[in-house]
Amino acid sequence: MNSLTNDYEDELDQDSVDDQTEPELASRWARLGAVIIDTVLLSIVLLPILYFAGLINFTPVDPNVSPWNQPVDHLQNFINALVGLMCYLAINAYFIFTSQQTVGKYVLDIQVVADSGEPTTGNHYVFVRYVPMYFISLIPIIGGIIGLINVLFIFRSSRKCLHDDIAKTIVIKLKPSTTP
């Protein structure tokens, strides 16, 4: 009788150890794939909106000046960025606030969680993880450099980008039954 009880207790102990194992980090390729899916989806939605709203124009302001030397309207760029952010949130809000994923992350079964492996909130995802780097990337020259550093950080052993460090998050591979 004792042997049976001990075997059962050992099995329970093993189950609790399995539940406490660290989550498996998402691969760099899965994260890249998710970004590509999100970018293509955002482009399909955003570009027609910007074009038909008159917020982008593909003809040069001054046809006598090289495309690289055209005048820049920073206010227009900021408005376009806000419209882009609203479209990003409109596309991804359901997934971000229910499962801390974007559409791309959902498709590839990866998820954003706190460094501890605990779930994070949708507000944390948007306002700490996403928005700060989004607006930093809009700063001429410096934003591009910081944006490049952000994504190159993924090649560290922790597989964390700069925005993950700021938000204290990791991206993990989901088990098949944990998506909504």
Per-residue pLDDT tens for 54-86? 888 777 777 777 767 777 778 888 999 999 999
Give the tens place of pLDDT for each residue, 102-114. Answer: 999 999 999 999 9
pLDDT of residue 9: 52
Name the residue range of residue 29's domain.
Answer: 24-178
Q: Please enumerate in sequence order all residues whose Cβ is within 8 A of that of 114, keeping only pairs 6 or more positions apart, or say none.
A: 120, 168, 169, 170
Domain assignment present for residue 36? The answer is yes
Domain assignment present for residue 104? The answer is yes
Domain assignment present for residue 94? The answer is yes
Q: How many domains does the chain have?
A: 1
Domain assignment present for residue 129? The answer is yes
Query: 46 and 38 in contact (C-beta within 8 Å)?
Result: no
